[in-house]
Structures are given as structure tokens and as C-alpha cells.
Amino acid sequence: VLVVSSCMENKKPLVIGHRGAMGHETENTIASIEKAMEMGVDMLEIDVFKIKSGEIVVFHDDTVERLTDGEGAIESYTLAELKALTLEGGHKIPTLQEVLDVMGGRTQLNIELKGRNTATDVNTMMEAAVKTGKWKSDDFIISSFEWDELRAMRALNTKVRIAILTEGDPLGGLVIGKDLNAEAINPSFKRLTAKNTQKIKEAGFKIFPWTVNEPQDILQMKRLGVDGIITNYPERIE
């Protein structure tokens, strides 16, 4: 009797909480991060910018209008000004340091460098976090669509795990991926096919697609055998 194995479908990908667990709490807030950890995610994904007063803050958009009661470019704010803004649910914009302190190395952290000139400070903060003894270097993975930021990060830190974010053809990330000795390609799940998945794997990269929320899409990603799934709804990945 020929038994056709479907082992690909059985592989459990890492559960990566998107902006914390944004399906449940206001994105990129301490509440969202705590919720994702409570839900037992393997990794959290957050977005960061460097602001005018020099801090690295956790925020997704270039401007504050969509998410807060303020207006203007996030990078033009001081921390005191940003802390005066309120997010949905009464939450405040956290700094990366606040997130590192709350997490204490309990869960892996994917820091997406959204803004420019973030690599140096983020690297310094990761190194300081490791020195506290709570975090390991490998708890962190740095991703970005701004591949120059990833180049800057690699120049500062030869060991840090790097993921290449792609929006179009995921195979477009392979050359820089090799160049930077990246661990993963993080493609839009919509652009992932059996063929390009195979090619990415053959090239030696892990695959962490974003942002996969619908059950049929989650199933499809599992069938393709991806290594992790970035999702707003961690409870949907079984």
C-alpha cells in the first residue's frame, strides 16, 4: 500500500505575534506585547523609529495621525511630546527600552527597523540587554524593508540574526540575503508559491511570511512548510 505522507502539513511553524498581538490589543503597545506573551507566542514582531530627542520608539507609521490624537511625522517628535499622545484604549507609545524591560528575554523579538538611522542604537540596546543576563543574542532577529539599514546593522554586528523583508517577488531578497548572511526571507504571504518557497529553502534561508490571519491562508503557509508565521491572531496557528 502506498502511503502518501503529508508531513509538510504537520510541521508546526513558529508563531510570531504581529505588532504584539494586534488582533487583540492596540498594536505595538505594552498591552499588545503582554497579550502576545500570555498567548504563548514563540516570537514577537514590533516596528521601530528613532525620534528627534534620540530615543528608539515602537510605532508602525511614519506619521502619528492614524494611531494617536496628534499629527505630524513620528521622527519630528521628542519623547516628552510623544508620551503626551494617546493611542486607542488610552495606551501610550512605548520606547524600545520599555519593551525590552517588560519582555525580559522571555520571548524572541523581531525588531523591524522602520525608520532610518536606527541600526546603531538598536544594536547598542540589544548588546546592553544581553549584558543584563536576561536576553541571549539569538533572542533577537532584525528585519527591514530598508535594506540599507540591514547593511548598517550587519556592519556593526557580524553575528546578529537578520531577516530580509520583501513586498514583491520574494526571490528579490536572495542576493542581499546571501550578502548579509541573513537567516530568513520574510515575504508577503501573498507572493509565496510552492516554486519560490522551494528556491528560498534551497538557497538556505528560513521563511517567515507576513501577515497571515485567515485560516485558509494559514493552512496554505503550513502546506508550503514555512518556518514561522507572522500573525495578528496567534491563537489561529495550531
Q: Does 149 bind ligand G3P (CB under 6 A)?
A: no
Q: Which residue, 171, 100, 11, 61, is CA-closest to 185?
A: 171
The nearest distance, CB 38 to ligand G3P, in angstroms, is 20
Rounded to 5°, the CA angle 45-107-63 comes to 25
Q: Does 27 bind ligand G3P (CB under 6 A)?
A: no
The nearest distance, CB 60 to ligand G3P, in angstroms, is 6
Residue 50: contacted member of Ca ion, ligand G3P, none (CB under 5 to 8 Å, by partner type): none
Q: Does 135 bind ligand G3P (CB under 6 A)?
A: no
Backbone angles phi, psi at 11, to 5 degrees: -70, 130
* Residues sharing a CB contact under 8 Å with residue 170, sequence separation 6 or more, in sequence order: 185, 187, 188, 191, 192, 196, 200, 207
The Cα-based distances of 135 to 104, 130, 153 in angstroms read: 7, 5, 19
Check 13, 18, 103, 211 and give the catalytic one.
Answer: 18
Query: What is the length of the chain?
Result: 238
Residue 68: contacted member of Ca ion, ligand G3P, none (CB under 5 to 8 Å, by partner type): none
Q: Does 112 bind ligand G3P (CB under 6 A)?
A: yes
24 is catalytic: no
* Residues sharing a CB contact under 8 Å with residue 31, sequence separation 6 or more, in sequence order: 20, 25, 89, 91
Q: Which residue, 8, 39, 35, is CA-closest to 20?
A: 35
Q: Does 229 bind ligand G3P (CB under 6 A)?
A: no
Residue 22: contacted member of Ca ion, ligand G3P, none (CB under 5 to 8 Å, by partner type): none
Q: Does 45 bind ligand G3P (CB under 6 A)?
A: yes
60 is catalytic: yes
What are the residue numbers of the active site? 18, 60
Interface residues with ligand G3P (CB under 6 A) are: 18, 45, 47, 60, 112, 143, 165, 186, 210-211, 230
